[in-house]
Structure 1
Amino acid sequence: MAEDPIDLICLEGDGNSVILRVAGKEQRKRPAESDALVGEFLVDTPFVRGTLKTWIFPEDLREWQQALDSLDAGRDIAWCEGKRNPWLFVELDEDDDRCTVTIKDHSMSLTTVTVTVPLVDAWFDDAYRRLDLVWDTWPMTED
């Protein structure tokens, strides 16, 4: 039986949301290929709504861990920048418990969407839990 999707990234509030939903592991076409997860960014605001398919590799999950650590330390992050995948940027608002989240699809639609959402301290525990859940649900190896 297939596992239920897991929201690896879930930034939402004030009517806006940016979610990276992981649907499962993609079948490898060749034995030498690294495992990959199939995911989809979902952006929803009162003004714009859209989805964007992506693939997540083991190194992406490790980099997401590092990005979470940086965010938790109060630094802005860029995740998957320079890769073929969509890029995710999170900029913290120093005066408020909010952040600006930007998804940039530089390879297919050539579209960039920016959304502002709340980001409170409690979000971080949940974000680390979601990452662990993805690793536990779909263990991945690199070749």
Structure 2
Amino acid sequence: MAEDPIDLIRLEGEGNSVILRIAGEVERKRPTESESESEAEAGACSLAGEFLVDTPFVRGSLKTWLSPEDLRQWQHALDSLDAGQDIAWCEGQRIPWLYIELDDDDDRCQVTIKDHSMSLTTVAVTVPLVDAWFDDAYRRLDLVWKTWPMTED
């Protein structure tokens, strides 16, 4: 039975939203003749996901996948963000990069998603970021781990 999707990241408000929706575990596979072993490893022990961006000006989606290490890095990124630091999550990796920059003047942040490999597009969205968001973000991460307890091979 397939699990319902879970929004690992959900930043929204003022008509804008950035969501990273996790759809489920990707089946493990062996590399085919047309793909390298590293391409096949990206599908091994991974979660299929999709970034969803919606504003009055732009709307789009971008498929991605996450490894157990990516989830651990998200935990560290959340800790840094909660401590008042800007974050860069997955920068330099194979999946889309996510940046969150805090606005010092109010409870808002700028969220930037950079697709460096497929569309070569970068989108920046401003959304509210209130203290209550952090409890929800940690709860969402825990729910992903409990729903799909991945392990590294």
TM-score (norm 2): 0.91
- Residues in 2 aligned to 1:62 and 1:24: alpha-carbon distance in whole angstroms: 17
Alignment partner, residue 95 of structure 2: 85
Matches within 5 A, 1:106-117: 106-117=116-127
The residue identity in structure 2 corresponding to 1:138 is: W
| TM-aligned CA deviation for residue 138 of structure 1 | 0.3
Report the secondary structure of 1:81's partner residue: coil
Gaps of 5+ in 1: none
- Residues in 2 aligned to 1:28 and 1:17: alpha-carbon distance in whole angstroms: 32
Report the secondary structure of 1:78's partner residue: strand
Alignment pair present for 1:19 and 2:29: no
Give a deviation string over 1:47-66, Cα, whole Å, max 9, x none: 00000000000000000000
Question: Structure 1 vs Structure 2: percent identity of aligned residues?
Answer: 83
Match 1:140 to one of 122, 130, 150: 150
- Residues in 2 aligned to 1:127 and 1:24: alpha-carbon distance in whole angstroms: 18
Higher Cα radius of gyration: 2
- Residues in 2 aligned to 1:96 and 1:104: alpha-carbon distance in whole angstroms: 24
Alignment partner, residue 10 of structure 1: 10
The residue identity in structure 1 corresponding to 2:23 is: A
Q: RMSD between aligned alpha carbons?
A: 1.0
Gaps of 5+ in 2: 31-39
- Residues in 1 aligned to 2:104 and 2:82: alpha-carbon distance in whole angstroms: 13
Alignment pair present for 1:58 and 2:68: yes
TM-score (norm 1): 0.97
The residue identity in structure 2 corresponding to 1:23 is: A
Residue correspondences, number: 142
Match 2:48 to one of 30, 38, 55: 38
Match 2:107 to one of 67, 83, 97: 97
Give a deviation string over 1:3-29, Cα, whole Å, max 9, x none: 000000000000000000000000000
